[in-house]
Amino acid sequence: MSRRVSESHIRRRLAEAETLCRERGAGFTDLRREVFELLLRRVVPAKAYDLQADMIASGRRAAPTTIYRALEFLTEQGLVHRINALNAFVACTGDFRHHHHHDPLMLACSECEQSIEIVSPEIGESIRRALAPTGFQFQGNTVEIRGVCEACQLAAAE
C-alpha cells in the first residue's frame, strides 16, 4: 500500500506552515521544518524513532527527545496530530488556521497503521450534544477511531 506525496504538495504545506508560524511569532526552526517535512512524506503515522531513523538515513542525527520537542511544537501549532491509538504522529491534512476549530476525527487502521483525517464541524457539535446531559465538557480534542481500512479489508477478503 504505497502512496507517493507530490513534491509540490510538500513544498506548499511547508510554505503554509512557515507562514502560519511567522504570523504567530512562533519559531519554525530547521529541525521543526525537517520533522514536519518527514511527516508530510510519510503515508502512515510515524513514531519519534521512525523519524529519527529517517533523519539518520539522510545523514542527520537528532536525539529522540529533540524530535519529541519538535513534535510537541508542531502539535501545539496545529500542524501535526498525535494519534494516541497508534502512539504516533501525522501531518494535519486540514486547514492549519482553523485547527482549533475543526475537531478532527482520526481513523487509525489497526492493520497497516494508515490514518485518515476527517474534518467536519458537525462531528464536534454532535459530540457536544451527546455529552450535554452528562455535564462533561468536550474541549475540541482530536477524536480517534481504531478499525480496519478499506484496503486492508479487501486484502483480507482475497
Tens digit of each residue's pLDDT (9 = 90 or more) over 70-106: 999 999 998 999 988 888 999 988 777 665 556 678 8
Write down the mean pLDDT value for the chain.
88
Coil vs helix vs strand at 103: coil
* Cα distance between residue 142 and residue 146, in whole Å: 13
132 by Cβ neighbours in 10 Å (0-12 / 13-18 / 19+) ranks as exposed
Give the pLDDT of residue 26: 95
Is the CB of residue 90 less than 8 Å from the CB of residue 109?
A: no
Average pLDDT in the 39-63 region?
92
Cα–Cα distances (Å) from 89 to 50, 127, 130, 133, in that order, read: 10, 23, 28, 33
